[in-house]
Amino acid sequence: MTVWSRLDLGVGLIAAGGVDLLWPDLGDLVDVVEVEPQTLWDHTLGDGRQLEPRALGWLRSLERPLLSHGVGFPVGGIVPPDTEGVRASARSAAELDAVHWSEHLSFNRTGAGGDHAGYLLPPMPTEATVAAAVSHIGLYRSQDERPFLVETPTSYLRPVPGDLSDGELVARIAIEADCGILLDLHNIWANELNGRQSVEDFLRDIPLERVWEVHLAGGFAFEGFHLDAHVGAVAQPLLEIAAAVIPRLPHVRALLFEAVPESVVDLGVPGLRGVLEQLHLMADLPAAPFGIPAPATPSEAMAVPSTAVAVPSTAVAVPSAGTRSSGERESQLLAYTTRATDTLPGADPGAAVLRLLTDEARLSLLVDGHADDLRGLLTRYGRTGTRELLNRFLAETRASSWPTEQSAAFSAWLSEHHELANHR
């Protein structure tokens, strides 16, 4: 395993929309920039999987180290990620001259037909997932030799008896694939708040020497869950956890803040500078001796903040995997979240959250290209009626993470339902 100087890349943020406009007032606090290449692919060029030239030019002009963080072809499912997508991701990493690249330990495809989720769904913590993920990471590494990291996942699902713990899953994959870990502290904190493994136990399970990058982000409470929404600043309890953990990561290279474009705008220069200054303070903390079995994390930092909502007592019992394979569990979850079915074996309240998040992710892809269509539906059917129609669209069409595909599906669906298209 390659070893680098601790925090040699420093503090940075994700190159989300809006960062370019605020850069003149932020750049002095940014040492490194992380790029999600799939969000910058220009689908009018070639095969649609090429970085938009102006965005690439701006990123290169920053004269900062760049990291490539994939959001389209995850490694945590039984079905392998699309080979051409992995190759395109490798080309983007090379164009960015990325110091290292990473992907999510999630899944978005299932079955022989490659059914798509339209969202990053949580991995099944099983031996089969470990074996599959190690193979998928091998596919990435066959395309490019730069260091590869796997991101620690978030999951709203209840733990299943007999599964690996979240930390065991990540540890097994990182060790067997001989790759790095992108430790998303907000993800594992959200998991604790939502009734999964505690942050402390997770950190005790994983090889801390393989953590090469750390993510921090904001989130919020929703219907009994804490969502990994990348909205707002970093909560104080999470800052305390990070301050206790980061000194005990001997090979961590970069500390990044994540925010969606809307949150970048809401935070503005003062909010973003405040977060980055907090991250710099953490980066300046002296390294702690390595080898202590459990990172010293203050008990008060582990407490659920008062703004979080407890999981409702009416939630259904912890489901059992029974004899279902990992692939079957993935297919059933994807079918439920994409509205192909309304039945989920072992009904889990977290699945309903994933279904809602999947709905919103798919519908968000229609906003830019179908503003007039959506406005017409709202005028004719009102908010409730329009939502019912959009739910029909979601249930009757194939899910996708790509705007062009989702837009084409919506246009075709409207054309098939002439009574709806009359509003135009």
Q: What is residue 314's predicted lDDT score, i.e. its pLDDT?
A: 33
Given a cut of 80, whether residue 169 has pLDDT beyond it is: yes
Give the Cα separation of 389 and 403 in Å (integer).
19
Q: Pairing mode, if any, of strands 225-227 and 220-222?
A: antiparallel
Write the pLDDT tens digit of every residue in 248-269. Answer: 999 999 999 999 999 999 999 9
**3-state SS class at 374:** helix
Distance CA 225, CA 349 (A): 10
Tell me the β-bridge partners of 12. Answer: 32, 256
Q: Band the pLDDT of 307: cuts 50, 70, 90.
A: very low
Residue 173 burial class via C-beta count within 10 angstroms: exposed 0-12, middle 13-18, buried 19 and up: buried
Greatest mean pLDDT among 42-51, 124-133, 340-349 lies in 124-133
Per the model's pLDDT, the better-predicted residue between 81 and 223 turns out to be 81
- What pLDDT does 421 receive? 55
Rounded mean pLDDT of the chain? 89
Which tokens sit at 361?
């992710």
Residue 306: what pLDDT? 34
Please state, in angstroms and rounded to a whole number, the distance separating the CA atoms of residues 31 and 47. Answer: 33
> pLDDT by residue (tens digit) across 389-411?
999 999 999 898 888 888 888 88
Does residue 258 sit in helix, strand or coil?
Answer: strand
Amino acid type, 223: E
pLDDT of residue 270: 97
**Please, which residues bridge with residue 375 across strands?**
none
CA distances from 183 to 61, 245, 296 (A): 28, 11, 17
Q: What is the residue type of 65?
A: P
Work out the pLDDT band at 289, boundaries 50, 70, 90. confident
Q: For position 293, what pLDDT does the model report?
A: 45
pLDDT, position 144:
96
C-beta separation of 32 from 64 below 8 A: yes
pLDDT at 291 (0 to 100): 61
Q: Above 60 in pLDDT, residue 310?
A: no
Q: Indicate the pLDDT class of residue 95, thresholds 50, 70 and 90.
A: very high
Predicted pLDDT at 1: 65
Q: Which two tokens stand for residue 81?
A: 């990620």
Contact 358, 117 (CB under 8 A): yes
**Whether residue 204 has pLDDT greater than 90:** yes
pLDDT at 339: 92
| Chain CA centroid to CA 3, Å | 26
Which of helix, strand or coil describes residue 407?
A: helix
Annotate 311-345 with DSSP letters as a single string.
PPTTSPPPP--TT--HHHHHHHHHHHHTTS-S--T
Share of the chain above pLDDT 70, in %: 88
The beta-strand segments (E) located in 42-143 are: 66-69, 101-104, 107-110, 115-121
Question: Residue 308 — very low, low, confident or very high, per pLDDT cuts 50/70/90?
Answer: very low
Q: What percent of the chain has pLDDT over 90?
A: 73
Q: What is the pTM of this model?
A: 0.90
Q: What pLDDT sits at residue 223?
A: 86
- Band the pLDDT of 319: cuts 50, 70, 90: very low
User: Residue 403 has what pLDDT?
Assistant: 84
DSSP 216-248: EE--EEETTEEE----SS--HHHHHHHHHHGGG
Range 372-395 average pLDDT: 90
Q: CA neighbours within 13 Å on the CB side: how many for 2?
A: 13
Cα separation values, 415 from 370, 412, 419, 424, Å: 13, 5, 9, 11
